[in-house]
Amino acid sequence: ELSQRYIDECSGCAQRFSSWSEEEQTHFVESLLQQMTHYQHGRVQAFLAPMLQRDFISALPARGLDHLAEKILAYLDAESLKSAELVCREWRRVVADGLLWKKLIELQVRSDNLWRGLAERKGWLQDLFRPQRGCQPKDNAYYRQLYPRILQDIERIENNWRSGKYRLHKIQCQSEASKVRRGQDCQRLADNTIKVWDRRTFQCIKVLTGHSGSVLCLQYDENIIISGSSDSTVRVWDVHSGEALNTLYHHCEAVLHLRFAEGLMVTCSKDRSIAVWDMVSPKEITLRRVLVGHRAAVNVVDFDQRYIVSASGDRTIKVWHTTSCEFVRTLSGHKRGIACLQYRDRLVVSGSSDNSIRLWDIETGSCLRVLEGHEELVRCIRFDSKRIVSGAYDGKIKVWDLPAALDPRSSPAAMCVGTLVEHTGRVFRLQFDEFQIVSSSHDDTILVWDFLAEDDDGSETGGAAGGGGGGGGGGGDDDDDDKSGRGAAGKFNPVGGNFIAGGDEDDADVD
């Protein structure tokens, strides 16, 4: 409670204070603050805090700078953007007029394949970026409500992967092997052709002819398909017209695998060699170097800007410098021939006739983990940042937790999160993205396992059988097995693609 003496003297002090210069006023206040207690300092700070704050977001539109306010708030994440809408009406108006929820969704779609795939699958991609002509523009409320629905879909997909809930689409083939590109399926057949199938209607839309032997491998992009055959040639095709653009002759036995990217192609063969090609254009492809060192057929290759990685029936993985093509190191550990691998960043994942999967650090050559659970040869393997998916001659597809596999503290029981059992024959090929696995088998089927699990079609619904890892597969040689059995072999790009396939032989040559 203020004393009468203070009230009487305060007005005089205030008048004298106002007569001083700013510098004198500041000096006087500082001297007063030095005489105050800590409690008094707190009271003064609480009084000053609101005076020192300024709502520049609301001030910018008042000066005709709405675009700056929108740009600042566009840096917020979803939770912060929701909080910003509650600050005041002006902030809420800036968020709405700037369509900031739309911009936040667009940012996610640009940077995340899962978001991009959902946009295509769910049909709201047309409401983003530049809407198509004739489409009624959506307001901010639409995008604000869309955002949590997207998060729910993402959570549902992850739960479906964990629980093994999927919707199964089946394509019946006749001695086929397949890869997938956007909107189409392509199959390689016993008649030495490549077939292109529309992935939405499952109708054959194109047949490519030219190989004189079974098509054992292929890869494609938006413009070309490149295939390798038991006729020892590599052929280049126009993906739109189906025209044969080029034929490459080098290998003297079957071409078992190939990869191309960014002007470089690597092929490998039963003749034990690896060929490195420079690609200027589809019609101008020249042999740069031949890599030798394997003592058996080279079954698979992969590469990036640093390394070329090859795996062979001689039980080894070899690493080569991409630029110089010089040999780097050998990764040894598999007890039998290696049928498949994938390489990305520092990680190599390989599958073998010893029924195991191995994870390797390419820089050190060390084996990081051995995954056991398949009962026969591991024929195909792919991985992304979350999971490894493997297919084997036991007819099973297994899904493994990649982060757990890379954690040395994780127990083997935590590795395998599901086993998918639908094929009745050996699984030869598979690919997967955030939504689907596409697999193909000796049973003459291509299966599409859809983990978005929408219920708006008449496809079968399935669930994972088994689960958990452990239990190594049985031993025994595969030499007496029929490795030229019929089957479909699959590769596939994220949602909305076509299947591309050809060939009827299982091309792996393992001991």
259 or 137: which leads in pLDDT: 259
Weakest-pLDDT range from 46-50, 52-56, 192-196, 256-260: 52-56
For residue 221, give both structure tokens.
């992009």
**Residue 486: pLDDT above 90?**
no
**Residue 401: pLDDT above 60?**
yes
Residue 64 confidence (pLDDT) = 87
| Rounded alpha-carbon distances, angstroms, from residue 272 to 107, 159, 203, 216, 326 | 46, 44, 38, 16, 17
Residue 105 confidence (pLDDT) = 95
383 or 197: which leads in pLDDT: 383
**Residue 314: pLDDT above 70?**
yes
Q: State how far the Cα of 427 lies from the Cα of 382, in Å rounded to an integer.
A: 13
Q: Within the chain, what is the greatest distance between any pair of CA atoms?
A: 111
Q: State how far the Cα of 419 lies from the Cα of 463, in Å rounded to an integer.
A: 9
Give kind and range of the element (H or E) at residue 158: helix 140-163
**Residue 320: pLDDT above 80?**
yes
Q: State how far the Cα of 476 lies from the Cα of 354, in Å rounded to an integer.
A: 9
Residue 2 confidence (pLDDT) = 82
Task: Over range 457-473, report the average pLDDT.
Answer: 43
Task: Over range 191-197, report the average pLDDT.
Answer: 85
Task: Over range 211-224, report the average pLDDT.
Answer: 93
| Rounded alpha-carbon distances, angstroms, from residue 267 to 188, 271, 279, 510 | 18, 11, 13, 18
Weakest-pLDDT range from 74-83, 175-184, 391-400, 441-450: 175-184
H helices, E strands: number in the chain: 11, 30
Residue 465 confidence (pLDDT) = 42
Residue 146 backbone phi and psi in degrees, to 5: -70, -40
Q: State how far the Cα of 51 lies from the Cα of 54, in Å rounded to an integer.
A: 8
476 or 170: which leads in pLDDT: 170
Q: State how far the Cα of 32 lies from the Cα of 506, in Å rounded to an integer.
A: 89
**Residue 66: pLDDT above 60?**
yes
408 or 11: which leads in pLDDT: 408
Q: Could you tell me the domains of the chain?
A: 1-42 (no CATH), 100-129+137-160 (1.20.1280.50), 174-452 (2.130.10.10)
Residue 459 confidence (pLDDT) = 47
User: What digits encode the pLDDT tens for the residues 349-374?
Assistant: 999 999 999 999 999 999 999 999 99
477 or 449: which leads in pLDDT: 449
Q: State how far the Cα of 449 lies from the Cα of 440, in Å rounded to an integer.
A: 11
Residue 383 confidence (pLDDT) = 97
Task: Over range 30-37, report the average pLDDT.
Answer: 94
**Residue 56: pLDDT above 90?**
no
Alpha-carbon torsion angle 11, 15, 16, 20, nearest 10: 140
Question: 119 with 109: CB under 8 angstroms?
Answer: yes
Weakest-pLDDT range from 245-249, 373-377, 496-500: 496-500
Residue 497 confidence (pLDDT) = 57
Please choose, from the candidates 406, 409, 416, 510, the residue with its C-alpha nearest in 3D space to the C-alpha of residue 466. Answer: 416
Question: 194 with 205: CB under 8 angstroms?
Answer: no
203 or 34: which leads in pLDDT: 34
Residue 461 confidence (pLDDT) = 56
420 forms beta bridges with 397
| Whole-number average pLDDT of the chain | 86
**Interacting residues of 81 by C-beta distance below 8 A, sequence separation 6+:** 73, 95, 100, 101, 104
Query: DSSP string covering 108-135, please?
Result: HHHH-HHHHHHHHHHSGGGGSSSPPTTP
Region of 272 (left: φ > 0; alpha: ψ -120 to 50; beta: rest) is left
**Residue 37: pLDDT above 90?**
yes
**Residue 462: pLDDT above 80?**
no
Please choose, from the candidates 306, 309, 236, the residue with its C-alpha nearest in 3D space to the C-alpha of residue 268. Answer: 309
Angle at 272 between CA 271 and CA 274, to 5 degrees: 105
Q: State how far the Cα of 195 lies from the Cα of 351, in Å rounded to an integer.
A: 28
**Residue 86: pLDDT above 60?**
yes
Q: State how far the Cα of 325 lies from the Cα of 274, in Å rounded to an integer.
A: 10
Task: Over range 467-488, report the average pLDDT.
Answer: 34
Task: Over range 69-87, report the average pLDDT.
Answer: 94
For residue 259, give both structure tokens.
């990869």
**Residue 211: pLDDT above 90?**
yes
**Interacting residues of 137 by C-beta distance below 8 A, sequence separation 6+:** 131
Confidence at 480, pLDDT banded by 50, 70, 90: very low
Question: 430 with 456: CB under 8 angstroms?
Answer: no
Burial of 225 (0-12, 13-18, 19+ CB in 10 A): buried
Half-sphere exposure of 78 (CA within 13 A, CB side): 15
**Interacting residues of 213 by C-beta distance below 8 A, sequence separation 6+:** 192, 229, 230, 231, 232, 254
Q: State how far the Cα of 181 lies from the Cα of 461, in Å rounded to an integer.
A: 24
Weakest-pLDDT range from 120-134, 135-149, 220-234: 120-134
244 forms beta bridges with 237
Confidence at 485, pLDDT banded by 50, 70, 90: very low
Q: At what angle do helices 78-85 and 100-111 cross, to 10 degrees?
A: 180
Weakest-pLDDT range from 58-67, 124-133, 243-252, 311-320: 124-133
Question: 397 with 429: CB under 8 angstroms?
Answer: no
**Residue 503: pLDDT above 90?**
no
Query: DSSP string covering 460-507, please?
Result: EEEE--------PPP----TTS-TT---------SSSEEEEEE--S--
Classify each residue of 330-359 as buried b or exposed e, where b means 16 or more C-beta atoms within 10 Å of its C-beta: ebebbebbbbbbbbeeebbbbbbbbbbbbb
367 or 12: which leads in pLDDT: 367
Task: Over range 484-493, report the average pLDDT.
Answer: 38
